[in-house]
Amino acid sequence: MPQSREQLEANEHQTLAPYAQRSADSRGRAFPEPPHEWRTDYQRDRDRITHSRAFRRLEYKTQVFLNGTGDHLRTRLTHTIEVAAVSRNIARALGLNEDLAEAIALAHDLGHSPFGHKGEYALNDLMKEHGGFEHNRQSLRIVEKLEQKYPHHPGLNLTWETREGLVKHFNPADHPSKRDGFDAKSNSLEAQVANLADEITYYSHDLDDGLDSNLLDEEDLKTHVQIWRDTDAEVRTEHGALDTETRHYAIIRRLINSQVHDVVETSGRLIAEAGVQSADDVRLHDGDLIRYSDTRRTANLELREYLYENLYYNPVVHKPNLRAIKLLEALFGHYLEHPEDIGSQSRARIETDGLHRAICDYLSGMTDRYVALEYERLGL
């Protein structure tokens, strides 16, 4: 006998903190649907996201290293899975709704174009007279509109709370606050958790991949990044001499753990101090409550700057991405002249959304390798 949804909802009432977002209190879906027999609304959202096309394409999209350059380097998909795992851990420790945090984490990068942020900037440039391109906004557009697999509504028809979690990092100018009530001062704590888990995850996996691919030099890292120096010293004290690879793994593991620990401790204190008693109290609260301690934030800033200088703008990472941008620009130009060459779903939106937006949706949905294939196929 399966556990009913009502039972799961009752469990949430008993076990979650008062400031958690309970699935029974959801503001629901844009197109009302009968609830599921044994899944809560957020568990259902999570399943819809993992069964979407955009999710499957994350496997072939660049995170930092151009997709296909190394078989065990992170891709957008493995990054996303790591973010979901860290989100669940933080959410559980704070008594928040793990399912909601997980759903938001799994959807957070759906809107990324091929070739990572370089691709995003290129598309934004190509779209500058037509509303621009930004990956968070595109994630929302995908789940609300572009995924087409249900007979009675466009998109995935996710709950309001999962979509709320994707409304972030917007400039005030393009914040869609005028619709759907996405105008609260803050997002749910679950959305804040997914947001910070993203950062924790990429700090650690970029260090891991950077060292693994020899783009980062450990001696230099030790000289410039205190958090690495300190964690390395802790690992040496605990384990004694280790071979380099095992020691790196131990440092990365310890780093993730200490980041999560810091966020859980700090956020727990901030939540108590703010005195929020419900998920809606959180939305009325000015400023994020899921945060690093000040000391940790300063330490992370040093790490972040180091990664920018030595990894993200390292010519080995940067150059292939720059070449990839040329492909994007060439394809965009081609589709402007030959709208008949874009996919049928995007083509159907030319009339309502304009040719530029339809091309942008089509191109941004492509994987890295599909861009290259298409460029070749069209003989550009």
Q: Out of 12, 198, 262, 368, which residue is the one contacting Mg ion (CB under 5 A)?
A: 198
Shortest CB 61 distance to Mg ion, Å:
11
Asked if 206 is part of the footprint of Mg ion (rule: CB under 5 A), the reply reads no
Is 116 or 365 the residue whose CB approaches Mg ion more closely? Answer: 116
Is 147 or 198 the residue whose CB approaches Mg ion more closely? Answer: 198
Instruction: Please compute Rg for the chain using Cα positions.
Output: 22
Helices 41-50, 98-107: inter-axial angle, 10-degree rounding: 20
Q: How far apart are CA 228 and CA 38, in angstroms?
A: 45
Shortest CB 222 distance to Mg ion, Å:
27
Contact call for residues 19 and 91 (beta carbons, < 8 A): no
Handedness of CA 349, 351, 357, 363 (dihedral sign): positive
Shortest CB 83 distance to Mg ion, Å:
6
Shortest CB 138 distance to Mg ion, Å:
13
Backbone angles phi, psi at 349, to 5 degrees: -100, 0
Q: How far apart are CA 366 and CA 146, in angstroms?
A: 13
Q: How far apart are CA 327 and CA 323, in angstroms?
A: 7
Asked if 109 is part of the footprint of Mg ion (rule: CB under 5 A), the reply reads yes
- Using the contact rule CB under 5 A, the part of the chain among 67-75, 92-100, 105-113, 288-296 near Mg ion is 105-113
Shortest CB 205 distance to Mg ion, Å:
10
Strand partners, 159: 29
Is 41 or 198 the residue whose CB approaches Mg ion more closely? Answer: 198
Is 139 or 159 the residue whose CB approaches Mg ion more closely? Answer: 139
CA distances from 136 to 98, 133, 153, 175, 367 (A): 21, 9, 22, 11, 17
- Within 10 angstroms of residue 337's Cβ, the number of other Cβ atoms is 8
Q: How far apart are CA 278 and CA 18, in angstroms?
A: 5
Asked if 147 is part of the footprint of Mg ion (rule: CB under 5 A), the reply reads no
Contact call for residues 49 and 163 (beta carbons, < 8 A): no
Is 100 or 235 the residue whose CB approaches Mg ion more closely? Answer: 100
Shortest CB 203 distance to Mg ion, Å:
12
Q: How far apart are CA 379 and CA 300, in angstroms?
A: 45
Query: How many chain residues interact with Mg ion (CB under 5 A)?
Result: 2
Shortest CB 371 distance to Mg ion, Å:
20
45: tokens are 């959202």
- Using the contact rule CB under 5 A, the part of the chain among 137-145, 167-175, 198-206, 208-216 near Mg ion is 198-206
Shortest CB 79 distance to Mg ion, Å:
6
- Using the contact rule CB under 5 A, the part of the chain among 138-146, 194-202, 205-213, 339-347 near Mg ion is 194-202
Q: How far apart are CA 82 and CA 319, in angstroms?
A: 27
- Residues lying near Mg ion in the complex (CB under 5 A) are found at 109, 198
